[in-house]
Structure 1
């Protein structure tokens, strides 16, 4: 490892940021400017040149992907690093969990050291029974998870007044007490409790390094401030143009707040290495201040804008387009399709599957998404933490698995175990004493006699059993890798599955498999591809229906993020006939915000606006009339001795290939294709080419 040589690879702006020794340095990193390279170079420089131990650094990220990338690159570059050296490298929640488990006195907060971490959905599971039992008046229960997140984040007592005049803050107090009783912490609790327990005499890190600092919320800023000792230096990198999580609490004022609070020095990384100049120039239109984006690459091709009839037509078009791109030597993994909402991926998955286009969808199927595994993980949670009543009740009264008790009966079993004996409860109660030395996954399976509880007569029995066996093996492998005793390792696994959503069914979207990547605009952040297709740029999708100027600004930043993932080719599309009634037909204003000289339009151009329902009625009436006329013509033709053959018309379709025209009028055309049979098209939207 030669850090000086590594520095020589950096441009002047990057090098200045790495060498900056200010107490606090905030780096404004333009999109595609090598932010991660600078951050990792800074860590290496501090360790190898300034002789700062990795254990004296706290490195905070906002995603597991970013944290893993940093650790993997450090481990590959430096043979002398152990994983223990990097315990302070991770997401905010991961680092807070490490501090609470290993360094801070959680007992002062009313917790035991073996506390469990719960995801937001599980916090909701605890809150709902409290509302019923205490008869609390809570409005907008369908948005309770979001309301809880927002209310919990409010620290100022004077601001704890419900805008809906309900009992939301009374619920927060009761929820906090119940979580302590059950020895559970939510994601927000991890940050809040770590912040509260960090004492002035706590050993402070020499350096705090933060990635994507613009995404910080108030809880995380308070955590950073408390973590920072008098002599601690802070280095943070981010881009205000990529704030796309304000609904999670991130704020536009993070840069200004940090600079003012710590009298920080400011650095910039202004040079984009990723995208062509055409793409950068188009993306610039979506920045609030219209600031310049400096790129070093050539102009490149224009932005392609296509008018698609509907999502199915577009999926067929993209299947052919992507295959053609791949035939030119472009790997599938360099091609991505972005959309605004997750349900937009379904039609593309179906069409790509039929056309043998390898693809991955950025949708994690976690333990919680699989009913039998969600039940099993709760069974294990209660088995290692008998205070976890919400999990115990869910296990006993689950409608699909277990003993299928009523909630009232389940509560009675937990309160008075001897009154109504439950074999499954007895198994969970005895797990710690009977299974502390278990080494094999099948031992856990047989101990709980799980065959009795996973519907052996159901059609899904085989699949459920295989899922359970796979999860138990994953747990045992995890414990062996961590070299922990079973109970300690199981607790650690349960916490990890809550924090990171252990992905049971498929690989993450960032895998190196050669496949087309399908993902939402939010999921695209931090990635890059040679070819990017952003679909559904209709009002109601891109942008979504908005209620405030702040939401409008965030939608624009989100679109900016999506555009700047493209290196060479960017194609945008909108629908004439979107499937969702809430989506407005025709392009949204985002299309028209791009200067015409940067755009290569490939739009269908109907003569006038079309009322599709009326057009459908007209077509059906015309077909009936045509069939009658055709029957009469056939009779007349049969009586005629001379048949005059007309020359056949041929057409080409992007999906179906070359076909022969069977019928045609002013509105409709029908053609026969060799491998697909007869197909009818509305002329205005068919995109057929006459040969």
Structure 2
């Protein structure tokens, strides 16, 4: 690509980054300001103008997906020879290459999880830890290693930093020491060891350092605010005494200090490199002015905090919105967490009905334990969800099985056998061999999760076919293999449920920030000014994930009928207008019972308060006796299948099994009675109410839906 053409379409600040082809360069990039665009155009412009050869560039980021995105963009910009890798991938590649030359012998085996070795170390120390404790101790060892603390100085480091170890500090130090002993005895290497050993080889073997530094002369490091001391040690070893370094980061998004990341390397960059070029990217292309205004208001006090020095204030970023106006953020106060989850599910359902794709909606919370109520509420509302941070997509058994079948079909020439069917039909045909069906199974269990994984592959085939109508099965399999290597999962059609930490780097049209109470955000164990400040940045990250619709909510008690002694997060002070309290319409009285002042919904058989989602939907305890009209239930299911088939939607979107069971138990005679059943909201009442009541009367209903709202 022509050098001048590379600069076309960049805003003035992005162009300044691209034209700063000689280092050192520090890019302070706010959320949604196009930092990836800026740095990829900088690299491409540098190679196009001859400032550096593509093969001499190493761009480093933190995830394989981000590295893959960098490579893809650089390829399209005419710089395919640039190396874009994670710290670990780059280090492992170098370590593997130089091992036979400078160390020799059997190379160590890489361990992907520390938990098994930590368990062995704990047993050797005569300590008994459960699975959760083992995971926490493993994380603590990772922190100690990335911050360069040995077992013998671990206790002092914990005391100095105010860190709260997951177990007795002396015991953790003993397990850490035994872990390292067992690791060496068994010739194992963990991820921290990859970086540490690579840095050591570069330091101790001048000939290795010369070869590496001759290969890589031009460095770009993304997300520099998340660099930890061990990664900085390796970066310094790569650089030597050179300064051809471009770093990109946002001090407002430093949220991983608990893992050893520190923003100081970013804030002190100009001190280490006094002649550095500094460019600020503040034009926000992601969010509406209303969302941007709130984001600036949330993070503003952090810049004025006494804990921030002059260097931090010089790096202050205040976003400037570039999009047209949108709706104002909504603030909602609930009586309890159940009511909060139910109403958020209802609001998400309304957005979907208005045309917002489910995959463009997210519910974000501080800790993963908060997801349970939302999973239940969305299931009751008939809205599919995708849990982020769970098992990796390409590691799921059904996905691995499907990829094997697709790969085999491609080798066997299935395209030829199914000539005329096209890629979409061919992929669905192959997936049917591993149990995929056009219609989703009932319920929300393992069968449903398996179907959704296979459905995501089928949907990806549609995306590939649209992008390249000539693509066949071999091209689709190649796409899958590349995505698997990058852990780039296809988009699954469902509302995303994720923690605020897991949401970093992502964005949605609509975002619900839930559970914003004192003790949750900031989290109860955030005590120091620095820890509180990081919690504030976590809320800022959540706000800046939203493109257009943003709802912030909190609940006054944990359970229905509980004491309302919670307070909204201190970070919302002065920001919120008068918070609204949902007032359900008469057609939605079941939700009022779950979260209103009348307390939790009682069981209609024994009177016990109902808190479980399924029990609230049925209106009774799961083990309480109830008469059910089996003939009506069968008729309801047959009718639902016909409607789902006509509308080409999953059956559960019409009504879930639990809702049909509740209808068959109560046999409502009027619209008002039907509306009192959980899962029958105003929209579904209008669309399907007449047909359901006809079935309850023993009549044959029309399968066509009523008019939508």
Question: TM-score, normalized by length of structure 1?
Answer: 0.63
Structure 1 position 103 matched with structure 2 position 118: no
Assess if the C-alpha contact under 8 Å between 1:151 and 1:169 holds in 2.
no
Measured against aligned partners, the alpha-carbon deviations of 1:571-606 in whole angstroms (never above 9, x if no partner) come to: 11111332499997444234642435xx4732259x
- Aligned counterpart, 1:313: 339
2:536 to 531, 536, 556: 556
- Aligned counterpart, 2:71: 71
- Aligned counterpart, 2:428: none
- Aligned counterpart, 2:631: none
Assess if the C-alpha contact under 8 Å between 2:111 and 2:189 holds in 1.
yes
C-alpha separation in 2, matches of 1:130 and 1:172: 11
Q: Out of 528-537 and 112-121, give the one that drifted further.
A: 112-121
Structure 1 position 233 matched with structure 2 position 211: no
C-alpha separation in 1, matches of 2:563 and 2:25: 44
Measured against aligned partners, the alpha-carbon deviations of 1:156-213 in whole angstroms (never above 9, x if no partner) come to: 7798262477365565454334323322111110111111011443221111111100
The alpha-carbon distance between structure 1 residues 182 and 678, as it changes in their structure 2 partners (threshold 3 A), is closer
Deviation at 1:314, TM superposition (A): 3.1
1:162 to 146, 155, 167: 155
Deviation at 1:547, TM superposition (A): 2.4
- Aligned counterpart, 2:641: none
The alpha-carbon distance between structure 1 residues 183 and 8, as it changes in their structure 2 partners (threshold 3 A), is same
- Aligned counterpart, 1:289: 303
- Aligned counterpart, 1:89: 84
- Aligned counterpart, 2:33: 33
Structure 1 position 364 matched with structure 2 position 390: yes
C-alpha separation in 1, matches of 2:677 and 2:381: 19
C-alpha separation in 1, matches of 2:37 and 2:60: 15
1:266 to 272, 278, 282: 278
- Aligned counterpart, 1:255: 266
Structure 1 position 179 matched with structure 2 position 158: no
Assess if the C-alpha contact under 8 Å between 2:385 and 2:494 holds in 1.
yes
- Aligned counterpart, 2:512: 533
Assess if the C-alpha contact under 8 Å between 1:305 and 1:602 holds in 2.
yes
Assess if the C-alpha contact under 8 Å between 1:276 and 1:299 holds in 2.
yes
The alpha-carbon distance between structure 1 residues 601 and 167, as it changes in their structure 2 partners (threshold 3 A), is closer
Deviation at 1:126, TM superposition (A): 4.2
Structure 1 position 145 matched with structure 2 position 123: no
The alpha-carbon distance between structure 1 residues 300 and 148, as it changes in their structure 2 partners (threshold 3 A), is same
Assess if the C-alpha contact under 8 Å between 1:336 and 1:518 holds in 2.
yes
- Aligned counterpart, 2:19: 19
What SS is found at the alignment partner of 1:317?
helix
- Aligned counterpart, 1:602: 580
Structure 1 position 322 matched with structure 2 position 316: no
Deviation at 1:526, TM superposition (A): 1.1
Deviation at 1:555, TM superposition (A): 0.6
Unpaired runs of 5+ residues, structure 1, are 374-438, 441-461, 471-496, 606-611, 625-654, 657-670, 680-691
The alpha-carbon distance between structure 1 residues 517 and 76, as it changes in their structure 2 partners (threshold 3 A), is farther
Deviation at 1:306, TM superposition (A): 0.9
Deviation at 1:280, TM superposition (A): 1.9
- Aligned counterpart, 1:224: 235
C-alpha separation in 1, matches of 2:45 and 2:284: 23
C-alpha separation in 2, matches of 1:260 and 1:560: 27
Structure 1 position 569 matched with structure 2 position 557: no
C-alpha separation in 2, matches of 1:501 and 1:282: 37
- Aligned counterpart, 1:55: 55
C-alpha separation in 2, matches of 1:122 and 1:177: 14
Assess if the C-alpha contact under 8 Å between 2:536 and 2:571 holds in 1.
no
**RMSD (CA atoms):** 4.6
Structure 1 position 515 matched with structure 2 position 494: yes
Question: Normalized per residue, which structure has more strand?
Answer: 1
Deviation at 1:559, TM superposition (A): 0.3
C-alpha separation in 2, matches of 1:332 and 1:677: 26
C-alpha separation in 2, matches of 1:522 and 1:156: 25
C-alpha separation in 1, matches of 2:367 and 2:272: 38
Assess if the C-alpha contact under 8 Å between 1:285 and 1:593 holds in 2.
no
Assess if the C-alpha contact under 8 Å between 2:513 and 2:542 holds in 1.
yes
Measured against aligned partners, the alpha-carbon deviations of 1:244-282 in whole angstroms (never above 9, x if no partner) come to: 000000113121333322333322112222222222222
Question: Normalized per residue, which structure has more helix?
Answer: 2
Assess if the C-alpha contact under 8 Å between 1:282 and 1:594 holds in 2.
no
Deviation at 1:677, TM superposition (A): 4.7
Is the radius of gyration larger for structure 1 or structure 2? 1
What SS is found at the alignment partner of 1:357?
coil
The alpha-carbon distance between structure 1 residues 156 and 258, as it changes in their structure 2 partners (threshold 3 A), is farther
Assess if the C-alpha contact under 8 Å between 2:122 and 2:175 holds in 1.
no
Assess if the C-alpha contact under 8 Å between 1:111 and 1:180 holds in 2.
no
Deviation at 1:70, TM superposition (A): 1.3
Assess if the C-alpha contact under 8 Å between 2:18 and 2:42 holds in 1.
yes
C-alpha separation in 2, matches of 1:111 and 1:174: 24
C-alpha separation in 2, matches of 1:334 and 1:225: 40
Structure 1 position 346 matched with structure 2 position 372: yes
